[in-house]
Structure 1
């Protein structure tokens, strides 16, 4: 059976994608140096939050995901980040390819909320591989990639921030229910506010003032 070894050589933003995309550099080695005709490669990427430490301001921003810090020993579970696939062309021995991974900035998605909460350092990722490898010195043979094939990657937080800034400079996204959006639209129209930023600023100021009066 063809024995493939995978490693991640780095990750960088895709500068010309139609949406936020990261490029994961993959190094693939066939240890027996049999000719590989092609690989239909699938990759599942998980965040492993227990494999790093956190600054106090990061802890505050992660309470919605993991609860109070005293519970983190049991709540700091892996987060699903992405699924991606690629067709790897023929090679013998070793090849290197870029795996494009589309990303979301929707903060309702746990991984995006986690990334946004981090201020510096690295993001520990686990890449799990599957798919089919087509090989054979004489003839053509299709073999499954064993499920235990995996590699790790520590993506700098700045790489994520650079990617988001390239596609959404200075902005963020919030998804709300239609009825909530309609109420916000009515509020904006009623007060003749020029932007959504003004709507949120006024509502936050009103909430702060109410809180001060209550105390």
Structure 2
């Protein structure tokens, strides 16, 4: 029966994909080298281990929406689920193979992971990869057999913040995405047309300037 282990060696931006995509170089080793691995149907859950790094005052301010005030972080700071990934590992002989595990990345600020990534300025993002699935293999002089992969198989990797920023700058240069309710969008759209504004930035800048003026008058 295969005895598989997993390790993340590196991460890179996938260029020219339809949406932001990051590739993690996944190394898979089998401690039973005499068994031929025909296929691995692999499932992976990726979590952000937010307690495994320090945060600057500026980063703490950007995390208020996720974890509240820093003096409560001992109660509120918990790991975040980033995403799930499914992939098929092709046949390999010997005791190891390396495959790119491509992970789609959202820039939607309604997603907690996006808020977290965007709030970091430097350093690394501590990630935990938890694996499960099914392995199809053949021992010497035996027919094809099937065995499960338990959730106990995992790997840790520190993703440099600069890699995530490079990816988003590649796909969305100098821009971000905000998801709005349809009725709010329609109000903003009518405001933009009524004032003859050329783009969404002009509409939001005018609204924000008016709000800031009112705050100054009332303060």
TM-score using structure 1 length? 0.98
Return the alpha-carbon distance in structure 2 between the equivalents of residues 178 and 154 of structure 1. 38
Match of 2:77 in 1: 76
Match of 1:89 in 2: 90
TM-score using structure 2 length? 0.96
2:88 counterpart of 1:50: no
Unaligned runs of 5+ in 1: none
Deviations 1:80-130 (A, max 9, x none): 111111111111201110001111000100001110111111000000001
2:183 counterpart of 1:179: yes
Q: CA shift at 1:17, angstroms? A: 1.3
Match of 2:41 in 1: 40
Question: Which of 130, 154, 160 is matched with 2:158 structurally?
Answer: 154
Return the alpha-carbon distance in structure 1 between the equivalents of residues 184 and 121 of structure 2. 30
Return the alpha-carbon distance in structure 1 between the equivalents of residues 180 and 86 of structure 2. 31
- Alignment coverage as a number of residue pairs: 215
- 4+ long deviations beyond 2 Å: none
Unaligned runs of 5+ in 2: none
Return the alpha-carbon distance in structure 2 between the equivalents of residues 98 and 136 of structure 1. 24
> Please, what is the CA RMSD of the aligned residues?
0.8
